Amino acid sequence: MANWQHHLKLKDISEAWDRKEIDTKKAGQMTSDLIKHLAEHLLPVYASYKEEFLEIAEQFEDAEDQNEYNYCLEQLYGLGDTKLDNEWPGKKLCWVGFVA
């Protein structure tokens, strides 16, 4: 398993969405807020990724339906999966998860 440098936990958002307590727009806003918080608290060595996280956060704010939200998740997964070294098991930027 990778040595994740940051963690972004979306479990609470996912569960609220599944229970129909929030709609896609609210889920997008809540996800955006978490990403923005992460972007402001990146380890200094990874600060160069801040703008990329903020761009994805903006996309989540604009998500109007599940397809758009899922597209944003793909972008987030891609960024999070960024390989940071050539060691084993290897450092990766950010674990994005829906479990505790």
- Output the tens digit of pLDDT for each of the chain's 100 residues: 789 999 999 999 999 999 999 999 999 999 999 999 999 999 999 999 999 999 999 999 999 999 999 999 999 999 999 999 999 999 999 999 987 6
Would you state the pLDDT for residue 100? Answer: 60
| Cβ-contact 38, 80 below 8 angstroms | no
77 CB neighbour count, 10 Å cutoff: 12
Domains held by the chain: number: 1
CA diameter of the chain? 43
Would you state the pLDDT for residue 98? Answer: 87
Domain encompassing residue 92? 3-97
